[in-house]
Amino acid sequence: MKRKQMLYLVLSGALYFAAWTQAEPQQARVKDIASIEGIRDNQLVGYGLVVGLRGSGDSQQTVFPAQTLISALQKMGVTVPLSGGTQSAQSAQNMQIRNMAAVFVVATMPPFSRSGSKIDITVSSAGDARSLEGGVLLMTPLYGPDGQIYAQAQGALVLGGYTVAAAGNVRQLNHPTTARIPSGALVERAVPFELNQLKTVDVVLNDADFHTSERMAAAINKALGTPRAHAIDSRQVEIEPKPEEDRAALLDAVEAVEVDVSPRARVVVNERTGTVVIGGMVRLQPVSILHGGLVVNVVSEPMVSQPNPFGQGTTEVVNKTTVEAQDKPVNRIDLKQGATVEDLVQELQRTGAGARDVISILQAMKQAGALEADLEVL
């Protein structure tokens, strides 16, 4: 049996909707709706220097890039001449270098990364550099949450934008102070994790749901041929491997299992941009909506008040204030028993409601209990 699901969008004051047809029930692979506990990415961060810029680096007011350069030169056996004062502060003030910039480097190390594996990195300016175009990142250690070095980053930067300034005119595209280096870091240390040492394999759902977790456990048991999976709660399904079973082969079989899923009815509202997304699983209860608006404009116009001829007064500037009020007609929407989101969208289009109006109506319907869905406000 086929059914039609609707996805409705209210974007920048205009109302749109798209429809597609799919089989009942909806199915998804385990790998698409869940992850394996313990198999995860690892975040890395580091601080380094980008050199080779064309006068678009950090200014003299940013002291720490020069301090970093002094430290790097001293490690290479280069002596920086001093001119009194403390070594770090006075030397940093005397250095006039606009071709370098201090940056933070971030990367995500995938699970099971080994020594020598290459990963992509993102480089972002930490000072007041105008652009990183043409720069080269010097060797930068990348640290994990435990403070250990897991990778080393170095290479030429690739920008997705630029900035050009001449005679006071500036032309900029995207963000020239953030760049990427594909395969710019080499993994030096692997995160210790032994897959075959797992006593149990735990599958964790991306969205907690008891119905989905129970159906997932049943589908995994059917695929494996033995009742080894059971739902712990609304998010976790535990699988008991056999003593000598290959864990990689088990996970391959588990991730390929298709599960019947029932997406949660949800309405997502972004009040900053005026965007509303309404899923097709949303149900409505009978409700009557009255929506109108009162517009009040207060206009203040300066005027010159002069005294009568031969009078004793002086010329003064006074404000003439005019208040205008306009009460818009009330729009009425009636949703009967069995009304769908499509009915609501059509009625909103008929009344000419804008994005802000739709957001207010949806919030009021949720408070009245007429909207059977999770209302998420971003």
Domain that holds residue 157: 42-59+98-187
User: Are 281 and 355 contained in the same domain?
Assistant: yes
User: Are 277 and 363 contained in the same domain?
Assistant: yes
* 355-368 helix and 341-351 helix, angle to the nearest 10 degrees: 140
Q: What is the pLDDT of residue 50?
A: 92
Q: What is the pLDDT of residue 85?
A: 47
Three-state SS letters, the chain: CEEEEEEEEEECCEEEEEEEEEECCCEEEHHHHEEECCCCCEEEEEEEEEECCCCCCCCCCCCHHHHHHHHHHHHCCCCCCCCCCCHHHHHHHHCCCCCEEEEEEEEEECCCCCCCCEEEEEEEECCCCCCCCCCEEEEEEEECCCCCEEEEEEEECEECCEEEEECCEEEEECCCCEEEEEEEEEECCCCCCCHHHCCCEEEEECCCCHHHHHHHHHHHHHHHCCCCEEECCCCEEEECCCCCCCHHHHHHHHHCCEEECCCCCEEEEECCCCEEEECCCCEECCEEEEECCEEEEEEEEEEEECCCCCCCCCCEEEEEEEEEEEECCCEEEEECCCCCHHHHHHHHHHHCCCHHHHHHHHHHHHHHCCEECEEEEC
Is 285 within a domain?
Answer: yes
User: Are 138 and 226 contained in the same domain?
Assistant: no
User: Are 251 and 310 contained in the same domain?
Assistant: no
Q: Find out whether 351 and 290 touch, Cβ atoms under 8 Å.
A: no
Is 157 within a domain?
Answer: yes
Is 82 within a domain?
Answer: no
Half-sphere exposure of 42 (CA within 13 A, CB side): 26
**Domain final position from 187, 215, 241:** 187
d(CA 299, CA 321): 6
**Domain final position from 187, 215, 238:** 187
Number of domains in the chain: 3
Rg (CA), the chain: 32
Rounded (10°) CA dihedral 348, 349, 354, 355:
70
User: Are 277 and 344 contained in the same domain?
Assistant: yes
d(CA 90, CA 153): 30
User: Are 309 and 282 contained in the same domain?
Assistant: yes
User: Are 156 and 282 contained in the same domain?
Assistant: no
Is 93 within a domain?
Answer: no
User: Are 302 and 353 contained in the same domain?
Assistant: yes
User: Are 54 and 141 contained in the same domain?
Assistant: yes
Is 1 within a domain?
Answer: no
User: Are 107 and 233 contained in the same domain?
Assistant: no
User: Are 200 and 315 contained in the same domain?
Assistant: no
Q: What tokens does 79 get?
A: 């002596």
Q: Is the preceding peptide bond at 25 cis, omega within 30 degrees of 0? A: yes
Question: Residue 73 contacts by C-beta under 8 Å, 6 or more apart in sequence?
Answer: 80
Give the residues of the chain that fall short of pLDDT 70.
Answer: 1-25, 61, 80-96, 161-174, 280, 291-301, 310-311, 319, 321, 323-330, 338, 342
Nearest CA among 248, 254, 260, 261 for reference residue 220: 254
Backbone angles phi, psi at 29, to 5 degrees: -75, 155
User: Are 329 and 201 contained in the same domain?
Assistant: no
Q: What tokens does 93 get?
A: 């003030």
Within a 10 A sphere around the Cβ of 5, how many other Cβ atoms? 16
Is 76 within a domain?
Answer: no
Pairing of the two strands 374-377 and 266-270: parallel
**Domain final position from 163, 187, 211:** 187
Q: What is the CATH number of the domain that holds 205?
A: 3.90.76.10
Is 140 within a domain?
Answer: yes
Is 320 within a domain?
Answer: yes
Note the Cα 60 to chain centre separation in Å: 34
Backbone angles phi, psi at 325, to 5 degrees: -125, 135
